[in-house]
């Protein structure tokens, strides 16, 4: 798969050393974690960033198997809704890894651009999903939606409190709050994307299924 190749190439490139001028943030702190010696400057923040890429790859990998159980037209529509945000997850995770691994200026710009693309595609997915639903009908089970928001809220709390200068910032610790933000955020987005699309497919199949004939009606037809 192309997404796996992109992530593997990024990791291999980082392990051989990333070129470029340093980013401006080390003077004030790059998401708290102190730069370490070696090719991976911020190991906790860098490796945890790949959770987003892994989530995107999992969503993309699930599509071929689901295509065999879905009509071609409906599969094409669903694949379009999943492919863009899932690919944006892969891009955001890979860009964040490159930034935290090398702390270079170009990777910092790439990271910011990738986050913007991810926000735009996820927002577009939400608007498109909401526009197709019936009034007062949920786009996914409430329990899954609640869990997604709880994960995102918990991750956001780690991000805010663990920022450079924040109360949870421990620059030289192996356990970084910013790294903790990466993990639940990836899980929340993956759960929300998979749940909203799968629930829409389930409701669509229920609406498309023909009604079963009543037993009494079929019996009278047979007698006639």
**In the chain, where are the structural domains located?**
2-15+36-204
Which residue, among 206, 197, 88, has the nearest Cα to 132 in the 3D structure?
197
* CA within 13 Å, CB half, 197: 26
> Which of 25-29, 141-145, 187-191 shows the highest mean pLDDT?
187-191
Categorize the per-residue pLDDT at 40 as very low, low, confident or very high, splitting at 50, 70 and 90: very high
CA dist 159 and 96 (Å) reads 14
Handedness of CA 68, 72, 74, 76 (dihedral sign): positive
pLDDT at 160 over 70: yes
pTM: 0.80
CB atoms within 10 A of CB 214: 9
pLDDT (0 to 100) of residue 75 = 47
What mean pLDDT, rounded, does the chain reach? Answer: 82
CA dist 68 and 71 (Å) reads 8
pLDDT (0 to 100) of residue 25 = 84
């Amino acid at each position: 798969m192309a997404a796996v190749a992109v992530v593997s190439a990024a990791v291999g490139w980082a392990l051989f050393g990333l070129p470029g001028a340093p980013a401006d943030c080390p003077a004030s702190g790059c998401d708290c974690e102190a730069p370490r010696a070696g090719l991976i400057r911020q190991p906790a923040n860098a490796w945890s960033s790949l959770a987003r890429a892994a989530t995107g790859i999992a969503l993309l990998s699930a599509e071929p198997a689901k295509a065999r159980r879905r009509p071609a037209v409906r599969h094409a529509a669903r694949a379009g809704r999943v492919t863009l945000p899932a690919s944006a997850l892969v891009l955001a995770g890979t860009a964040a890894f490159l930034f935290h691994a090398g702390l270079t200026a170009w990777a910092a710009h790439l990271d910011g651009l990738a986050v913007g693309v991810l926000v735009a595609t996820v927002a577009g997915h939400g608007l498109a999903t909401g526009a197709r639903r019936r009034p007062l009908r949920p786009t996914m089970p409430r329990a899954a939606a609640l869990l997604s928001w709880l994960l995102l809220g918990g991750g956001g709390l780690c991000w805010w409190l663990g920022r450079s200068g924040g109360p949870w910032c421990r620059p030289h610790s192996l356990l970084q709050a910013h790294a903790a933000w990466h993990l639940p955020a990836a899980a929340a987005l993956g759960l929300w994307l998979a749940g909203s699309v799968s629930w829409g497919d389930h409701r669509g199949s229920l609406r498309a299924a023909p009604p079963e004939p009543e037993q009494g009606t079929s019996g009278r037809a047979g007698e006639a």
